[in-house]
Amino acid sequence: MFCPKCGSLLMPKKEEGKKIMACSCGFKDKNAETNKIKEVVEKNREVEVVDEANETLPKTEAECSKCGHNEAYFWMIQTRASDEPETRFFRCGKCKYTWREYS
């Protein structure tokens, strides 16, 4: 619902007890009763749940304390002050056990 004169958005107003659509430029649409605001809501698709996690992290040689496997995924996060070294996290490639290592 845009103004045919200036292209601005028409706003609902009451004039003489009736609703009209009016623009700031002075245009008035007396047929406000026929104008209705509609909202079309699309149904959302269902979210697929994947049980298997595709690991995209780099691998390294690190021994898992739970199962003894010698390969683990790793990542590093700054968990303490910036003048201290990062914390390394490891996740076993076999049993998925996660542990951390401080320097």
- The single residue of 16, 39, 52, 83 carrying the catalytic annotation is 83
Rounded Cα distance, 102 and 41, in Å: 50
16 is catalytic: no
Q: Is 51 a catalytic residue?
A: no
Catalytic residue among 55, 63, 84, 101: 84
CB burial readout 49-84, b (16+ within 10 A) else e? eeeeeeeeeeeeebebeeeeeeebbeeeeeeeeeee
- Terminal C-alpha separation, the chain: 64
Listing DSSP states for 31-42 in one string gives: -TTT-------P
Q: Annotated catalytic sites, by residue?
A: 83-84
